[in-house]
Amino acid sequence: MKDEDLTDPDGRLVLVRHGETEWSRTGRHTGLTDIPLTETGAYKAELAGTLLATRHWDLVLTSPLERAVETAARAGYPQAEIEPRLVEWDYGAYEGLTTPEISARLGHDWTIWQAGAPAGATPGETVAQVTARAESLLDELRPRVRAGEQVLLFSHSHFLRALAGTWLGLTAAGGRYFVLGTSAVSELGFEHGSEVITQWNHVRGR
């Protein structure tokens, strides 16, 4: 079959990272700590909503954490359904620390994409565990998107990057390749039958 004979699904999986918080502004790993948006974060969440307002959504889901729920509401989706699998990577013992602080503590360079996070006040998550969580969610959403539905997700930086990596078959570790700013809108879709990124890290009023 020639490429031009292939008809790709027009469904899309659209990802929105929450707006700025005090911890995201200073580079502190914010997993399950529940903190609100800054004033800037609230404003840019509203700007993100302008990128979404003209589209029809068959399903809108949000992480249960306050910064994601508030972003969804300010973007125009106060009735977004809570989906627990959209929570951020559990950083365990590294919660609240910056990457340089973690690397200094370990005595060598560290990234979440290679090593995951050990238990601390919370259990922490490995790359394999986050991959499994992303795959579980995609197993439910992929058929809907392939059927042409438009699905909107509000979540967090590392989990959305891990979700994109898993969508592409790279596992959660593939998220290392995708920088994602606060309030950024990204889109996953299809080309020639394959799952691809159709738009990434679009921020209104950058």
Half-sphere exposure in the Cβ direction for 94 (13 Å, CA): 26
Active site residue 4: no
Element (H, E) at 15: strand 12-17
Neighbouring CB atoms inside 10 A of 194's CB total 11
CB within 8 Å of 39: residues ≥ 6 apart: none
CB-CB contact of 43 with 20 (8 Å)? no
Distances (CA, A) of 91 to 21, 130, 183: 17, 11, 21
Residue 92: alpha-carbon gap to chain centroid? 19
- DSSP-assigned letter for residue 65: S
Residue in 46, 70, 83, 88 annotated catalytic: 88
Pair 124, 92: CB distance under 8 Å: yes
User: Is residue 108 flagged as an active site residue?
Assistant: no
> Which active-site residues does the annotation give?
18, 88
